[in-house]
Amino acid sequence: MKPTWDIFCCVVDNYGDIGVTWRLARQLVAEHDVAVRLWVDELAAFVRLCPEADAQARQQWQQGVEVCLWPADWQPTAVPDVVIGAFGCHLPAAYVQAMQDRTVPAVWLNLEYLSAEGWVEGCHGLPSPQANGLRKVFFFPGFTPGTGGLLREATLLTRRKAFEDDPQARQAFLRGLGVRVHEGARLISLFAYENPGLASWLDVLAADTRPSHLLVPEGRILGDVQAWLGESGLGVGSVTQRGALTVQILPFVSQDDYDRLLWCCEFNAVRGEDSFVRAQWAGRPLLWHIYVQEEYAHWEKLEAFLDHYTQGLSAPAAAALVALWRAWNMDRDMGQAWRELLAHWPELSAHAERWCAAQAAQPDLATALVQFCRNSL
């Protein structure tokens, strides 16, 4: 019989949590022959990532995954072999009681948020005995061998290479989104939280000698884009030009199409966790808008990643990258930082590919989870 897994996802205020858990569930089913039940408390968010899904269905099958509404009125259900609570969500009390009643204990994992901070390796895999006698283990994604790794499908980089080597496929994909890129234009994707610093970046792009085409999937940054353009009510398909900059609004696309969008672009501005990791697999220079936490806890995470990512860069290139990321995450002027980044573009492009290859040499997160659970059952 197939191993059975439950993954619980509580949607907070963005798509990062459901993005990670949906991607993980799909990979477990497709590559590891695992029966996965994904519990989601807000199906409307799930439908944004999986448009063919039904936001009203309490139970449905999507791409081999059993997707269930996590209801407030929890009903008794059988506990599987493995239980994952994503990002510290609290499991239903009745479900935890059923875990206690199980003859063979389930493997209970708390899948944590991604971080490059030094303490992560020391906490990865640590057990947390519960007062009820159950044992929960903390599982940390990460960028070093002492962590759980990053989500990466087995064929991801092969598919990326095939897509990059097929100009017709790229053109067909962009045409499907209504994108017509002028020859020589720099293609940039923008997926970010609200950011007052955006205007200064768009100013310098509009004044550049090389044209840029900015692709903006629907999202929270749209209000700042509209403010800069001086236009309200921009919707999917809107195309506006200011100087050397063309701004185009795209629909919120599926995860697989978002990968292709990243692969089409020279530079990707991303946010949160899921798109951040996918931009690294794209092997392009990137800009990360980190999710803001109380007491500036996110700042340590940002600096920790930069410490890792800039290793191997020349001092000037590293300084330019760090300056841009700090300006973006502090809502500061982006103009000078962007110009300095462009001066080191060849080095940063080569570095992004090397970083991607180095991360791909490590076990991926889904494989690490499966191996851990096999050793624990």
Which of the residues are catalytic? 17, 273
Phi, psi (degrees; rounded to nearest 5) at 215: -105, 120
Written as six digits, the tokens of 152 are: 């990466």
* φ/ψ bin of 253: left (φ > 0), alpha (ψ from -120 to 50), beta (otherwise): beta
Tell me how far apart the alpha carbons of residues 151 and 277 are, in angstroms, rounded to a whole number: 8
Q: In Å, how far are 35, 36, 84, 133 from 100, measured between CA atoms?
A: 21, 21, 15, 8
Residues 6+ apart with CB under 8 A from 138: 109, 110, 112, 123, 124, 125, 126, 128
3 state SS of 126? coil
Structure tokens at 166: 């097929």
Question: What letter does residue 124 receive in the DSSP assignment?
Answer: T
Alpha carbon distance 45, 50 (integer Å): 9
The single residue listed with the structure tokens 């807000």 is 42
The C-alpha atoms of residue 34 and residue 22 are separated, in whole angstroms, by 14
